[in-house]
């Protein structure tokens, strides 16, 4: 079977030659740098090196057009404060690639939002790749690689505009503004989907949200149902109407309290299923059955600990691999705390599992 045939069969609980094999969210750059010093050959493509199945995204630009002009506000030998292409003011340490400190976001009020709308014209031809043509459509139709389309979700989009704290307050103090942002975004996405899916049929669509933390969602199920659920239904109904029935959401943390709402909204796959946030893929399968496809849930901390912990993790998720509809992967990007030899052991043991399902 090729990558595409295997992925489609596996995610529909059909027979395969082996389970798909991915590192779904990849690696932090510090991780790869560490491994170069521990034996990883220089210059190699890390996904090729480990022999993962292949997939590729359709490169659609969902950002503001025109971009904000990058401007340095303050700089010294340790850090830089600047406004990035999305209009966010942030502080970045020069000696690290860790997350920057966000200082200010571009939408502080209704006036800012009305100005921001002008940067999100879904019909702007610059949103499409330069290769957008019959030749590209033919390639996507015939490639053996899994093809996907990645979207920014409703909470994710609003948070990028307003910042987390301001957004959470706005749900209560400015609900009309939050509703307008999410309604605008659903219309934007529907137009993008209309353009793209009229030419290309991806194997899945994934939606980035990152709307949960260790103990649960950042908003209540009631707010999800009021503000997000109607918009999810609009988007997923359109996608399914184009014959695409695998719709994923990427959200860190503990999303268990809103899984049923995601399912009602037309989503049927979640990742990365963080173990440290008390998310257990085996229990999710027990509770939601085959309605919910799953990706991830291998505890990154097990790879730090070593072979015994890795074997225990793989043994825990083995029943999912025996059933299908689950793709083995670490429960986020692989961190720099993971030694190269531990990861090589994980790859070898994981391959033994996927080749014997």
Q: Could you give the domains of the chain? A: 3-64+107-354 (3.20.20.210), 69-105 (no CATH)
Predicted local confidence at residue 98, as pLDDT = 67
Angle of helix 175-197 relative to helix 164-173, nearest 10 degrees, comes to 110
How many CB atoms lie under 10 A from the CB of residue 140?
A: 16
pTM over 0.85: yes
For residue 48 the two structure tokens come to 């090729």
In this prediction, residue 224 carries a pLDDT of 98
CB 68 within 8 A of CB 106: yes
Which residues, 6 or more positions from 293, have their beta carbon under 8 angstroms from its beta carbon? Answer: 11, 246, 248, 268, 269, 270, 325, 326
Cis link prior to 113 (omega < 30° from 0)? no
Identify the sign of the CA torsion 178, 183, 184, 186: positive
Per-residue confidence in pLDDT tens, the chain, 357 aa: 999 999 999 999 999 999 999 999 999 989 999 999 999 998 899 999 999 999 999 999 999 999 999 999 999 999 999 999 999 999 999 876 667 899 999 999 999 999 999 999 999 999 999 999 999 999 999 999 999 999 999 999 999 999 999 999 999 999 999 999 999 999 999 999 999 999 999 999 999 999 999 999 999 999 999 999 999 999 999 999 999 999 999 999 999 999 999 999 999 999 999 999 999 999 999 999 999 999 999 999 999 999 999 999 999 999 999 999 999 999 999 999 999 999 999 999 999 999 987
Strand pairing report for 212-213 and 216-217: antiparallel
DSSP class of residue 336 equals T
Q: What CA–CA distance (Å, rounded) separates 11 from 249?
A: 15
Question: Taking a C-beta distance cutoff of 8 angstroms, is the pair 239, 186 a contact?
Answer: no
User: What gap in Å lies between CA 275 and CA 296, rounded to an integer?
Assistant: 9
Q: In this predicted structure, what is the pLDDT of residue 274?
A: 98
pLDDT of residue 94: 85
Region class of 112: left (phi > 0), else alpha (psi between -120 and 50), else beta: alpha
């Amino acid at each position: 079977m090729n990558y595409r045939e295997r992925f489609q069969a596996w995610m529909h609980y059909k027979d395969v030659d082996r389970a798909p094999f991915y590192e779904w969210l990849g690696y932090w750059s510090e991780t790869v740098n560490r491994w170069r010093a521990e034996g990883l050959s220089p210059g190699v493509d890390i996904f090729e090196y480990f022999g993962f199945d292949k997939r590729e995204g359709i490169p659609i630009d969902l950002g503001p057009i025109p971009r904000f002009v990058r401007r340095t506000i303050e700089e010294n030998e340790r850090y830089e404060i600047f406004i990035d292409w999305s209009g966010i003011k942030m502080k970045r340490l020069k000696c690290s690639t860790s997350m920057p400190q966000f200082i200010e976001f571009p939408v502080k009020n209704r006036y800012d939002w009305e100005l921001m709308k002008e940067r999100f014209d879904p019909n702007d031809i610059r949103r499409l790749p330069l290769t957008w043509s019959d030749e590209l459509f033919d390639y996507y139709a015939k490639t053996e690689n899994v093809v996907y389309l990645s979207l920014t979700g409703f909470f994710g989009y609003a948070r990028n505009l307003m910042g987390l704290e301001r957004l959470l307050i706005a749900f209560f103090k400015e609900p009309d503004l939050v509703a307008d942002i999410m309604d605008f975004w659903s219309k934007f996405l529907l137009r993008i989907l209309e353009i793209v899916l009229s030419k290309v049929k991806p194997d899945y669509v994934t939606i980035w949200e990152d709307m949960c933390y260790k103990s649960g969602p950042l908003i209540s199920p009631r707010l999800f149902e009021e503000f997000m659920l109607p918009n999810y239904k609009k988007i997923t109904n359109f996608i399914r109407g184009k014959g695409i029935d695998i719709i994923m959401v990427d959200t860190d943390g503990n999303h268990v309290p809103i899984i049923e709402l995601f399912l009602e909204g037309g989503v049927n796959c979640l990742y990365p299923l963080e173990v440290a946030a008390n998310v257990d893929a085996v229990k999710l399968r027990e509770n939601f059955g085959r309605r919910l496809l799953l990706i991830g849930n291998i505890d990154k901390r097990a790879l730090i600990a070593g072979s015994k912990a890795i074997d225990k993790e793989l043994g825990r998720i083995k029943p999912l691999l025996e059933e299908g509809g689950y793709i083995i992967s670490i429960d986020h990007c692989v961190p720099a705390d993971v030694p190269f030899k531990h990861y090589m052991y994980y790859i070898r043991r994981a391959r033994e599992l996927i080749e014997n399902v």
